[in-house]
Amino acid sequence: MQFDLHEQGATQFASKEAAQNYFDALRRSLPEAESAYQPSGVMPASALLLLIAGSPLAIGSSYTAGLIALALGAAVTAVIVGLNVLTMVCGWVVCIFAILSLLAALATYGFVFGAAGYWSAKATASLGRWGKNRNAACVGAFAAVYAVAASVLLMISVWMEFVVEANVLDVLTDPLQWITTRDWMFWTLTGVGVLIAAFIAWAMAESFVAEDKFCEACEAYMFKEELPRVTLGGLRALAVSVASEDIQATANTITQAPGRDGAPNLFHCHQCGSGFLDVICIFEASRPDDDGKQESVEEEWLVASCALDDQQTKLLFGLREPSLR
């Protein structure tokens, strides 16, 4: 099969529809592939102990991230609400400020629980990595539990500080007297947010584990090397050669088709030399938004992946940028 190695991906579009049509066609011609690397599912005792002992770190990271997100979101929302009040005092009715206030509040709501979930996943995956964990599902479960704990603690703090204005001892002495209809609405929204945080934590933690490729033979994590990017035509050629495990053709394409549309990433073990090659499609473009202003669009997805032996790894390792050799 012949490919035009000089084919470049489009980067400028006259309309949003044109950009979307091009992107859809690109996804059809270069569909997302499954990674050749799959975590073994092994969880050493050391990893389990770290995940349990490190719970204060994971919960603390999640809580802090949620708190910072809440403070930033509240500040932005307060500014918009203030502008809305100012315009009303001046006798103007500017509906956009009321709409922006609502949107800012909703964005803050999602931002708080999203940040809590993400940083729970980040901290939990890091704890597992220190213990050489390769069980994505277990780390995901731990991250979800820690995200739930941090989110609930954060919302309890907000509830006591701003809703009921009580201290911990007062609430613990007679909690029912502090609960009103307004509080049930608060806790309903909190419950939905906690589910969002748990889902994000679970999904992100599993992806972090899958991204950290591990050599089972050597009991060591692999190192990542970014090989030179290629043109769109080169990317099409790589998708075929990598899928057929023709590593010599893959190396030739990387050498002959320098560009920006495809990113081959090499993962290799420093001890035995085995590894994996992932090829990423990179869609970066500029298009008009609904107001006619230019906006940037970026999308990435895996289009090919294969396992490598030590000789194949060595061949691709020599293709690194000269400054990295």
Give pLDDT, residue 141: 96
* Choice among 81-85, 117-121, 183-187, 250-254 with the minimum mean pLDDT: 81-85
Give pLDDT, residue 105: 82
- Tell me the mean pLDDT in the region 69-81: 86
- Tell me the mean pLDDT in the region 183-194: 85
> Which stretch of DSSP H or E encloses residue 265?
strand 262-268
Mean pLDDT of the chain: 88
290 has pLDDT over 50: yes
| DSSP one-letter string for 17-50 | HHHHHHHHHHHHHS-----S--------HHHHHH
- Tell me the mean pLDDT in the region 67-76: 91
How far apart are the C-alpha atoms of 52 and 261, rounded to whole Å?
42
Give pLDDT, residue 325: 47
Give pLDDT, residue 177: 53
**110 or 184, higher pLDDT:** 110
Buried b (16+ CB within 10 A) or exposed e, 198-225: bbbbbbbbbebbeebbbbeeeeebbeeb
Closest CA to 127 of 227, 235, 48, 15: 48
Strand pairing partners for 143?
Answer: none
> Which stretch of DSSP H or E encloses residue 300?
strand 294-308
Q: What is the DSSP letter of 56?
A: H
Q: What is the DSSP letter of 12?
A: B
CA distances from 92 to 77, 88, 237, 242 (A): 20, 5, 61, 63
pLDDT tens-place string over residues 223-262: 999 999 999 999 999 999 999 999 999 999 999 999 999 9
Q: Per-domain residue ranges for the chain?
A: 16-37+217-324, 45-212
pLDDT tens-place string over residues 38-69: 999 999 999 999 999 999 999 999 999 999 99
Q: What is the DSSP letter of 93?
A: -
Tokens of 319: 């293709």
Strand pairing partners for 278?
Answer: 265, 305
- Tell me the mean pLDDT in the region 283-309: 89
* Choice among 76-80, 107-111, 117-121, 211-215 with the minimum mean pLDDT: 76-80
Local confidence band at 293 (pLDDT 50, 70, 90 cut-offs): confident
pLDDT tens-place string over residues 3-20: 899 999 988 888 888 999
Nearby residues of 297 by Cβ (< 8 Å), 6 or more positions away: 19, 23, 283, 284, 285, 286, 287
- Tell me the mean pLDDT in the region 261-278: 95
C-beta of residue 201 within 8 angstroms of C-beta of residue 117: yes
Tokens of 300: 């990435």
Q: What is the DSSP letter of 280?
A: E
Give pLDDT, residue 158: 83
